[in-house]
Amino acid sequence: MSESLVFAPSAAAIARTRTTAAQYEEMYARSLSDPDGFWKEQSQRIDWIKPPTRIKNTSYTYPDISIKWFEDGVLNISANCVDRHLATRADETAIIWEGDIPGTDDKVTYRQLHERLGRFANVLKANGVKKGDRVTIYMPMIIDTAVAMLACARIGAVHSVIFGGFSPDSIAGRINDCDSKIVLTADEGRRGGKTIPLKKNVDEALLKTPGVERVIVVKNTGNAVAMQAGRDVWYADEAAKVSADCAPEPMNAEDPLFILYTSGSTGKPKGVLHTTGGYIVWASLTHERVFDYQPGEIYWCTADVGWVTGHSYIVYGPLANGATTVMFEGIPSYPDAGRCWQVVEKHKVNIFYTAPTAIRALMGAGADIPDQYPMPSLRLLGSVGEPINPEAWLWYHKHVGKERCEIVDTWWQTETGGILISALPGAIAAKPGSATKPFFGIKPIVLSPEGKLQEQTKAEGVLCIADSWPGQMRTVYGDHARFVSTYFETYKGYYFTGDGCRRDEDGYYWITGRVDDVLNVSGHRIGTAEVESALVAHPKVAEAAVVGYPHDIKGQGIYCYVTLMAGEKGDDALKTELRNWVRKEIGAIASPDLMQFAPGLPKTRSGKIMRRILRKIAENDYGALGDTTTLADPGVVTDLIENRQNR
């Protein structure tokens, strides 16, 4: 039924859009037939110190994957996000900050942002940071965090932002992987009425990071924290010593901008590396077109800057476009499920961009809550992070958008730098549950799992992208071979997304979720291998297998099968212990939802765990287990089914 629902663009959206349906078709066709010409033109949206003459230089030929865009161009991103707006909108608001505690807020104009980032950049320099150095940022959702990111970009340092929900062990792993000598943090963060001990977590992490020489601490809550002499300094003290004047460092288009760690199907999280020129062209162009952003509008993306959505669509894309971007410290459910709608009305938000998991949670709290808020400023709604089920889409459309706002369901990944598949308001009709059509320069292709190209329009299989686009990641930091093998080895000649999809008869894309061992829990990517290795690191655990199962709010929940060491007793106390253990090893976002103690796991005769069977049992769909005769010990399955947790 859902596939037959179509929401044509409203007359209002058509009247104001930057991209009409005809323009979309024409620009899309040209972006594929003449990428050099198309992207040369689009690159002019950026202020270059030296404009590029070479536009696209990319190869998907396995194993020599090489991606360069605008490679002889020179620019500085912070100048594009801030300085260049000073002539026209210095006194307009760049960032509106809404605090976790209702009633607390703040804002900075572009002029103030310019001053703050210059000063922060000089603090970094004074503390020894040089072009190319990696700077770890473990900070809360406050304006200083955006300032810190821009300050790194100002001097050519490469930032690695770590989400505040990660544990000390996860922080240490990321710091060591990119060999970062400096960490920027705050005393504490605030979220949902709780304080997050950021500095304390950093202190614990730093017991395992021999390379860190300096920690710069921003005072946020003002509560006392330990400061280690010779290593830790307060930002305010450092800022008092320097000027706010810092010339932007000229950066080559292919110089690194940031590293962002993300989970894959194997091993530890990988450092996705994005560079300068292509990234900012992509982030700013997609922000402008997908949200049809027009000057003066208030734009709010509810993500955290610790994720790629926060990088591209709170900080870089909106600021490059001179937008007013809202940064929200809190969570949608605090102090109650009306918070987002209060904030929309308070700041007169025009564009609201959030994740399906938040929509589903708010839906659960009842439609009468958003129904109390007319939210007349709202014009456009966005969704990102996971497939949005049509029920949630329709609820969002009716109770938040009042059947007046278009919805853009934006599909993309940390690796892609920005949106690749999405409707454009006023140009592309929406179908609830479909990310709709590809953005300029993106040629999605559908392959059978065996790799056969599905040429007919209506198709189902794995989603690959045929050619490079400017915002694409360039490598895995420090491990190019892993970049090549993860994304280019299975299906030669294409970028493999790790997602499955359907393409309908209208050429619309419906993302069906990950086809690899990556879970999407509340819109956060978690590798099953990471959770497994955390579990087996516990002395009482012999073996573990982790799979996802459908979860009403989170999209997917984490289901762990655990085999204990001989003599250990699997009881509720041990479940709690193991759950806390995983939270300590990785962070609260990886907390197991269901745990089953199993005397044995289903394995093939060669010793490979049959995850297909474990998934089916976790989904409570064990009637369709398929062939189990190849198992070394088919008997274990009976026990697994009898003791399943998801009934």
Q: Does residue 514 have a known ligand-binding role?
A: yes
562 annotated among ligand-binding-site residues: no
Please state the closest distance from residue 309 (CB atom) to ligand WTA, in A. 5
Shortest CB 530 distance to ligand WTA, Å:
14
500 among annotated binding-site residues: no
Q: Which is nearer to ligand WTA, 96 or 519 (CB)?
A: 519
Between 514 and 616, name the residue whose CB sits nearer to ligand WTA: 514
Contact 135, 159 (CB under 8 A): yes
Q: What angle do CA 46, 48, 52 make, to 5 degrees?
A: 100
| 293 vs 510, beta carbon nearer ligand WTA | 510
Dihedrals phi, psi of 127, to nearest 5 degrees: -100, 20
Q: Is 385 marked within a binding site?
A: yes
Q: Are strands 495-503 and 509-514 parallel, antiparallel or unpaired?
A: antiparallel
Tokens of 393: 């889409």
State the nearest-atom distance from the C-beta of 276 to ligand WTA, in Å. Answer: 20
Nearest to ligand WTA of 175, 408 (CB atom): 408
- How many Cα neighbours within 13 Å face the side chain of 482? 17
Sheet holding 495-503, edge to edge: 444-447, 459-465, 495-503, 509-514
Q: Phi/psi at 605 (nearest 5 deg)?
A: -65, -20
Q: Smallest distance, Å, CB 514 to ligand WTA?
A: 5
Cβ of residue 402: shortest distance to ligand WTA, in angstroms?
22
Q: Report in angstroms how near the CB of residue 599 gets to ligand WTA at its nearest.
A: 34
The answer to whether 336 is annotated as binding is no
Shortest distance, position 355 Cβ to ligand WTA, whole Å: 8
C-alpha dihedral (523, 299, 325, 222), degrees to nearest 10:
-60
Q: What are phi and psi of 169, to 5 degrees?
A: -65, -40
User: Does 200 carry a binding-site annotation?
Assistant: no
Q: Is 193 annotated as a binding residue?
A: yes
User: Phi-psi category of 3—alpha, beta or left, where left has phi over 0 and alpha has psi -120 to 50?
Assistant: alpha
Q: Which is nearer to ligand WTA, 70 or 166 (CB)?
A: 166
DSSP characters for 542-595?
EEEEEEEEEETTTEEEEEEEEEEPTT----HHHHHHHHHHHHHHTBGGG--SEE
* 583 assigned to a ligand binding site: yes
The DSSP bridge partners found for residue 475 are 273
- Helix ranges, 141-218 (H): 143-155, 168-178, 198-205
Question: Does 410 show up as a binding residue in the annotation?
Answer: yes
Residue 484 CA to residue 621 CA, distance in Å, equals 36
122 versus 357: smaller Cβ distance to ligand WTA: 357
Considering the complex, what minimum distance in angstroms separates the CB of residue 338 from ligand WTA? Answer: 25
Binding site for ligand WTA (CB under 6 A): 262, 307-309, 383-387, 409-414, 435, 497-499, 511, 513-514, 520, 525
Secondary structure class of 178 (helix, strand, coil): helix
Residue 387 in marked binding region: yes
The helix (run of H) or strand (run of E) holding residue 110 is: helix 110-126
Q: Kindly tell me which of 55 and 447 has the beta carbon lying closer to ligand WTA.
A: 447
The size of the chain, in residues, is: 647
Residue closer to ligand WTA, measured from CB, 136 or 522: 522
Q: What Rg do the C-alpha atoms of the chain give, in angstroms?
A: 24
Residue ranges of the binding site: 191-194, 309, 385-387, 409-414, 499, 514, 522, 525, 536, 538, 541, 583
Residue ranges of the binding site for ATP: 385-387, 409-414, 499, 514, 525
Residue ranges of the binding site for CoA: 191-194, 309, 522, 583
